[in-house]
Amino acid sequence: MEGKVVNPGKPDLGAPSLPLAPAHALRMTGDAHDGIAMLSHLFALAAGSRGYHLYSVPEYPAEIRAHANTLAGVYTSSLAFAPYHEPIDDRTSFLLAMNPAGLKLHESSLEKDGILLANSDSFGPDELACAGYLENPLAGKNQLFHRTISVPMSQLTNHAINLTRAGEKGALLSYREVDRCRNLFALGMLLWYYSIPIDPVLRWLKQKFSINPSILDASQKAFKAGFIYSETANVFPQVPAYHPVESLSKKGRICRMISGNDASLLALKHVALKTNRPVLLASTSRPPSHEISSLAAKNTGDGFSFILADDEHAAASIAIGVSYGGGLGCTAVSGIGFPHQSEVVSLASAAELPLLLLEYQRAGISTGLPQRVAQSDLGMALMGRNGEAPLVVLAPDSPSDCFALTLLAAKVAMRFLAPVCILHDLLNSRASESWLIPEPESLPDFEFPHFASDSSSGPYECDDHLARPWITPGTPGKEHRLGGNERKLNSPQVSFLPLDHLAMNRHRAARMQRIAEFLGPLPVSGDNDAQILLLGWGGTKNVLEAATELARKNGISVAFAHLRFLNPLPKNMQMVLNSYPKVIVAELNSGRLFALLKEKFEFNGISFTRQDGLNFVISQVEQAIVQFARGESS
Amino acid sequence: MITQNQPTDFASEQEVRWCPGCGDFAILAQIKKMLADMPLLREEQVFLSGIGCASRMPNYLSTYGFRGLHGGAVSAGMGLKLAQPNLTVWIVLGDGEGFGAATQHLLHACRRNVDIKVLFINNEIRGLSRGQESATTRPGTLTATCPEGSSDNPWHPCALALAAGATFVARSLDVDVDHLGTILQRASEHKGFAFVEILQNCKVYNDLVFDNLATQHDRPEHLVYLEHGKPMVYGAQSRQGIKFENASVSLVQPNHTASTAPAIHDEACESPFAAQMLATLENPDFPECIGVFRAVTRICHHESFYRGTNTPNPEIPKLDLEGPDSFPVE
């Protein structure tokens, strides 16, 4: 089909040489004191070294310090690993439950033939009661799963370390310290089950605890004990056969697990280094944007800095002050902090200054649900300003895409002197995935003509990108006044005249069209003559993509496209929508993108949404595709 | 290069559009004079403001200027100072904005000792929006939104700035041009956050609110001119003075006895307590004070902010994409 951009290959990783195996979803759950985060991190480290592609999503308790072993205190990490980008479904193949409350929350997600591995030492009467179990679900007539492996991990950990004489007079470690190693015992069991070498973990432990030989010794003992116990006690009924993907196995390539927040931060630091201009992130403590704030505070230097502002308006105002001074002012914001920054976005638009908003969407209104996923702020990003003040809106499609897209956003902001918003959701900011670290020379440069302070143009004269020169205070002979007042086009003169106002509105709209050209078209994967197009945006990409694959296997001809640029929309948007008889727009809100597209374009489509604070489920999306294809829904 | 300037060199291309008789004209003239008199680089002087009559000031000066949001100038100035610490950043606030939308930003800038100079132009009324009361309007004032007279207690701007930790706090008058010029110079020279309240007459909406201080003849009877290290006296032949007694201020008539000796002003006092008492004195029971209430030295925000991260890196910085937990694929 003419004009259609087709991108059939999977990005970055190349085609696998082995037949595709389904993603294996492993869920680790337990109390806040069970060390689930460390367990998950080390599992990913070891599995990643083996070449698996991993995708992990943590779920934190909403309470800061919930009572032990209650449902409110459960910490869970869901981890999908496969020789490919595969999504986490709500179906778990392997559930590690370190306490009954974790099992209670996730028992419904375990497949019928899935494996439940539990620390039986934490399934005492009190813990069971806290979780709401009347009987022990691990054994007896109330056993939930026929493939339940019940292991007294706390006792075995204690035995493994007991050479250190825990708790006795002269012992190097307390009982508490010994017991905290039980997560490493569990890790050892998991690695044995999946045939993953233990060396990366041993190296990590050695580095981490080098200053505390007692802890190091205990950790290594517990970890190895779990690994050996799995073999000697013949714990697992069978071992799954997974193989690392060929393209990830290339010698010499370095990989890491990267969260969206890590990736965004790396990108900002790259901008500071490449431009030799200050990049400053100003934000508040509002969750979930507080996560990147904490990360940024620990990673300042080489031109990148962070400040915790006292409210969102102050944060955005500090950022615009940085941009006025010639740096890149950035702000991180969530929930109702976003509207507080609306007028600063308008100011950036009027004064033509770069401003980068890292917006972290969360479910709910008002106080909201910062632990729940939603694409809740698209309406605010697109429409939430007085007057015609355009805001460039981008959305990363995966954790690692936060790196590429933040670089692109910074480039747009600085090249066009415009405010840019990156709409994150928890699926791309908090989640992590394997990332092949790019070669430094492949990273973009930031050389723009209007960086030069000796520009012969006046401070208001636009270039071919419709951007004025970025002349900053301190430049001799170029003193000028900027601000939020409407003015005459290409002139400093404040003007209230209708024609000047119209000219400026048109100027700002025309610049958005230049930005659309700069960003490029929307790629589409799948058959050119597909009957249905599935269209999404944000962190749901891997689920939607997998649903598309599943539908294809079931005989439905379906194409897939995922928007990373939401304002301005890609120039080929109309063509893409009109290239398919039917379009499904899938998003985690009430259908905001669908409404926008319907307003702008003629096409035959339906809105597929979810609004309960959870991600899509592959099978449900696939079902929607099938039903729509057969004309069963409208 | 610093060249000899005239005040008129600091006029911008914009036509000045305040009401005839507005006190802002005199303030603008003194700012230009200060800029011309001091050894400053024009390109390093930046004036920021928000929305209001006084906030037009940056438009009328030929330095760098930024007129942004109602309440946003203080934080924008803070960001600018972090981006370019060598600049001298001036913020112009009216009382409507300064103690309205900008209050929180202002108080935090005080405590952080952000190196900006805030000119708080106080006419005790919101002028641009046509005469509503502000947080400094005195009780009984008839306003557009209080036709029977304002009933709320006002803030004392200098006292509030002192309470918030400002390291330089001063007050002057639009009509006392020599004094205003001196105070502006002092603020410019201060290293850290400077707060200058300028009592200004709004000819249209709050005329004569500072009538008792308007003429040179009347001023000595109602004003103490604060001078560091000198006794705080006022009136003809300095016949009256003030002293601190039992954590309050009392009036004395100096007659060379210890009990009637006026207090000596100490602007460098570490505790802001005495300065706060002076900043709240009001006619007719007490004289009002103008001059520098407090001038102490603290580390500036941008200095402490960059301490540690701004140490010169002997190597060319390189982005560490790998982090501590990267791994080679085996």
Domains defined along chain A, listed by start: 30-232 (3.40.920.10), 258-442 (3.40.50.970), 524-629 (3.40.50.920)
Mean per-residue pLDDT for A256-266?
94
**Residue A17 binned pLDDT confidence (cut-offs 50, 70, 90):** very low
Q: Is A488 on the interface with B (CB under 8 A)?
A: no
Domain membership of residue B89 (yes or no) is yes
Using a CB–CB cutoff of 8 Å, tell me whether A385 touches chain B: no
Give the range among A449-453, A474-478, B8-12, B168-172 with minimum mean pLDDT: A449-453
| Contact list, B319 vs chain A (CB under 8 Å) | 266, 269-270, 273, 440, 443
Is a pLDDT exceeding 80 seen at residue A453? no
When scoring A199, A202, A253, A479 by the number of chain B Cβ atoms within 10 A, the one with the most, hence best to mutate, is: A479
Pairwise CA distance, residues B211 & B285, whole Å? 16
Say if the Cβ atoms of B68 and A478 lie within 8 Å: no
Residues of chain A in contact with residue B87, where contact means CB-CB under 8 angstroms, are 325, 473-474
DSSP E strand boundaries for A538-624: 558-563, 565-567, 582-587, 605-609
Q: Are strands B45-49 and A605-609 parallel, antiparallel or unpaired?
A: unpaired
Q: What is the pLDDT of residue A523?
A: 97
Residue B246: partners with Cβ closer than 8 Å, 6 or more residues away: none
Is B310 inside a domain boundary? no
Statement: residue A21 has pLDDT above 60: no
The pLDDT tens digits of the residues spanning A557-605 come to 999 999 999 999 999 999 999 999 999 999 999 999 999 999 999 999 9
pLDDT at A244: 59
pLDDT of residue A303: 92
Task: Please tell me which of the candidates B42, B306, B317 has its beta carbon nearest to residue A479.
Answer: B42
A491 confidence band (pLDDT: 50, 70, 90): confident
Q: What is the pLDDT of residue A245?
A: 55
Q: Which two structure tokens, joined as six digits, stand for B43?
A: 């390109």
A10 pLDDT tier (thresholds 50, 70, 90): very low
Predicted confidence band of residue B322 (pLDDT cuts 50, 70, 90) = confident
- Cβ burial, residue B305 (10 Å; 0-12/13-18/19+): buried
CB neighbourhood size of B267 (10 A): 20
- What span, in angstroms and rounded, lies between the C-alpha atoms of A237 and A415? 59
Interface of B with A in 97-116 (CB under 8 A): 104-105, 108
Give the pLDDT confidence of A196-245 residue by residue, as tens digits.
899 999 999 999 999 999 999 999 999 999 999 999 999 997 777 666 55
Nearest to B321 among A266, A475, A481 (CB): A266
Here the CATH number for the domain that contains residue B129 is 3.40.50.970
The answer as to whether B205 is a domain residue is yes
Closest among B280, B174, B152, B168 to B219, alpha carbons compared: B174
User: Is the dihedral angle over the CA atoms A423, A427, A430, A436 positive or is it negative?
Assistant: negative
User: Is B202 part of any domain?
Assistant: yes
> Which chain A residues have a beta carbon less than 8 Å from that of B75?
309, 313-315, 317-318, 321
Query: What pLDDT does residue B218 have?
Result: 85
For residue B200, what are the domain limits? 18-230+266-298
Contact (CB, 8 A) for B91 and B69: no
Res A313: pLDDT: 97
pLDDT value, residue A66: 85
Digit-coded pLDDT (tens) for A33-82: 899 999 999 998 898 888 778 888 888 887 778 899 999 999 999 888 76
Q: Quick one: pLDDT band at residue B3, thresholds 50, 70, 90?
A: low
User: Tell me, what's the ipTM?
Assistant: 0.96
Among chain B residues, the shortest Cα distance to A482 is held by: B66
| Of the partner residues A254, A270, A483, the one whose CB lies closest to the CB of residue B66 | A483
pLDDT at B256: 80
User: Which is nearest to B261 in space by CA: B242, B287, B280, B278?
Assistant: B242
**For residues A249 and B105, which has the higher predicted lDDT (pLDDT)?**
B105
Cβ contacts (< 8 Å) between B309 and chain A: which residues?
A: 300-301, 305
pLDDT higher than 50, residue A11? no
| Mean pLDDT of the region B254-262 | 87
Question: Residue B214: is its pLDDT beyond 90?
Answer: no
Mean pLDDT score, B189-202: 97
Question: How far apart are alpha carbons A46 and A26 in whole angstroms?
Answer: 14
Q: Tokens 């500072």 correspond to what residue?
A: B210
CB contact under 8 A, B67 and A262: no
Residue B145 lies in a domain: yes
Q: What confidence score (pLDDT) does residue A454 get?
A: 61
Say whether residue B28 is in contact with chain A using an 8 A CB cutoff: no
Q: How far apart are CA A134 and CA A145, in angstroms?
A: 16
A443: which chain B residues are within 8 Å (Cβ-Cβ)? Answer: 319
For chain B, percent of residues with pLDDT exceeding 70: 96
Cβ(A109)–Cβ(A27) below 8 Å: yes
Q: Hey, are the CB atoms on B67 and A305 less than 8 Å from each other?
A: no
Report the number of distinct structural domains present in chain B: 1
Residues of A in contact with B313 (CB under 8 A): 302
- pLDDT of A6 above 80: no
Per residue in A88-108, pLDDT (tens digit) is: 556 788 999 999 999 999 999
The SS3 of residue A285 is coil
Q: Share the mean pLDDT of chain B.
A: 93
Whether B250 maps to a domain, the answer reads: no
pLDDT at A461: 85
pLDDT of residue A587: 98
- The better pLDDT of the pair B329, B85 is held by B85
* Structure token pair of residue B97: 């904005």
Residue A7 has pLDDT above 50, yes or no: no
Which residues make Cβ contacts (< 8 Å) with residue B93, sequence separation at least 6?
Answer: B49, B50, B52, B54, B55, B73, B74, B102, B106, B118, B119, B120, B121
The predicted-structure confidence for A391-431, as pLDDT tens digits, reads as follows 999 999 999 999 999 999 999 999 999 999 999 999 999 99
On the 0-12 / 13-18 / 19+ scale of CB atoms within 10 A, B202 is buried
Rounded to 10 degrees, the C-alpha dihedral A64/A66/A72/A74 comes to: 80
Identify which has the larger pLDDT, B82 or A445.
B82
Residues A122-145: pLDDT tens digits?
999 999 999 999 999 998 888 888
CA distance A159 to A233: 15
Residue A13's pLDDT is what?
31
For the ranges A436-440, B38-42, B89-93, the maximum mean pLDDT occurs at B89-93
**According to the model, what pLDDT value does residue B314 have?**
59
**Separation between Cα atoms, residue A417 and residue A349, nearest integer Å:** 8
Give the pLDDT confidence score for residue A336 in this predicted structure.
94
Candidate from B12, B69, B75 with C-beta closest to A343 = B69
pLDDT of residue A16 exceeding 70 = no
Could you tell me what percent of chain B has a pLDDT over 90?
82
Q: Which residue has the tokens 């019940």?
A: A150
Q: A324, A342, A485: which to substitute to probe chain B, counting the most B Cβ within 10 Å?
A: A324
Residue B162 pLDDT exceeds 70: yes
Is B3 part of any domain? no
Residue A497 pLDDT exceeds 80: yes
Q: Does residue B127 form part of some domain?
A: yes
